[in-house]
Amino acid sequence: MSPLFPSIAEIDARLRAPTAESQKKSSGFWANSALPVAEKKPTIELFSTEYYWTCALGGALACGPTHSAVTPLDLVKCRRQVDPTIYSSNMQGWKTIIKSEGFGGVFTGVGATFIGYTFQGAGKYGLYELFKKKYSDLVGERLAFDYRTEVYLAASASAEFFTDLALCPWEAIKVRTQTTIPPFASSVFDGWNKITATEGFGGLYKGLVPLWFRQIPYTMLKFASFERTVEKIYDTLPKPKSEYSTLQQTGVSFLGGYIAGILCAAVSHPSDVMVSKINADRLPGESMGAAVGRIYSKIGFVGLWNGLPVRIFMIGTLTAMQWLIYDSFKLYVGLPTTGGH
């Protein structure tokens, strides 16, 4: 016997179904592409333990390599944040580094970057999927749909809070190595040993609070704006998501990711500057509040925005590539892409 009222999912599916009029109007790449529609493979059970571990693996693959690839840009950005006069431009910075340190110098900090952001990607994406499901179940299907942006924000904030505990030590080593000339350490583990020998294990976490202030707003925007942007893109297209090919779906993921990345970069940039400053310039025994106050008195409000154009380009591209890799991986293992359901 059929239920008296259809479920929210059924209502949403019917609302998204194309009308006869829209099908007649449909034309161009999206409507008439000869690319095959995404095939339905045998999938991993949604919301199972295997599902969350798979999402974590996809996040690791998306974040570790992409962050490592932009190390040259990140290196110059961090040095210019700490000392705005060090290079007149990114190009001049790279030329100076290559001349004095060789070509490998532009990849200073890549080891810590790869390890830290592989851990961060795994935790961020895996825990986001977990918390999104938990919070949706907690409030119920109707409220989860009506307030889905709030669910995305809460889930991503929770995921990043825990994930930064794994990222922080590697970020401390990366920033310290990148912002000292000559580099503070010759390798990741040389950096680890030097910091723990002089400052104890706590030295690896002295930038945790600023990291939270940078990463949590960043991740909240990254996931919530991506989910809603992708939803809007599919709403404007003539067919439901399921009728598009894997190439077209990952194209939407890339576009949605780039838009989300621009927003992320702008919102989190002041905290990014402060993280670089604190890891490079916090005095032994100085409290976090005192360090922030002292550094802010030196750089002022304008200084918090130093290097923003570079970071917008870097984070926009980075975020777009991460969503492209993550959703491509999900399709490869038989899972649906993120957003637009």
Res 41: pLDDT: 56
Task: Please say whether the beta carbons of 260 and 221 come within 8 A.
Answer: yes
Q: How far apart are CA 209 and CA 38, in angstroms?
A: 43
Residue 46 scores a pLDDT above 50: yes
Average pLDDT over residues 156-178: 95
Instruction: Give the chain's mean pLDDT.
Output: 85
Task: Please say whether the beta carbons of 109 and 70 come within 8 A.
Answer: no
Average pLDDT over residues 80-90: 83
Q: How far apart are CA 297 and CA 186, in angstroms?
A: 32
Name the more confident of 226 and 339.
226
> Residue 251 is encoded by which pair of tokens?
């194209």
Name the more confident of 273 and 19.
273
Q: Which residue bears the tokens 């199972």?
A: 48
Report whether the peptide linkage leading into residue 182 is cis, meaning its omega lies within 30 degrees of zero.
Answer: yes
Q: How far apart are CA 30 and CA 134, in angstroms?
A: 34
- Tell which residue, 116, 106, 126, 105, has the closest CA to residue 64: 116
Average pLDDT over residues 198-216: 90
Q: How far apart are CA 119 and CA 19, in angstroms?
A: 45
> Residue 120 is encoded by which pair of tokens?
């961060």
Q: How far apart are CA 47 and CA 129, in angstroms?
A: 8
* Lowest model confidence (mean pLDDT) among 114-118, 190-194, 316-320: 316-320
> Residue 38 is encoded by which pair of tokens?
């995404």
> Residue 284 is encoded by which pair of tokens?
């032994």
> Residue 234 is encoded by which pair of tokens?
């599919």
Q: What is the DSSP letter of 265?
A: H
Residue at 145: amino acid letter: F
Task: Please say whether the beta carbons of 331 and 244 come within 8 A.
Answer: no
Domains of the chain: 38-332 (1.50.40.10)
Residue 335 scores a pLDDT above 60: yes
Q: What is the DSSP letter of 85?
A: T
Angle between the 288-303 and 246-281 helix axes, to the nearest 10 degrees?
120
> CB within 8 A of 267, min separation 6: which ones?
217, 218, 221
CA dihedral 97, 102, 104, 107 (to 10 degrees): 0
Task: Please say whether the beta carbons of 317 and 260 come within 8 A.
Answer: no
Q: Which residue bears the tokens 């009308």?
A: 19
The dihedral sign for the CA sequence 81, 84, 87, 89: positive
As a residue count, the chain comes to: 341
Whole-prediction pTM value?
Answer: 0.77
> Residue 216 is encoded by which pair of tokens?
């949590």
Per-residue pLDDT reduced to its tens digit, 239-279: 888 888 888 999 999 999 999 888 888 888 888 888 778 87
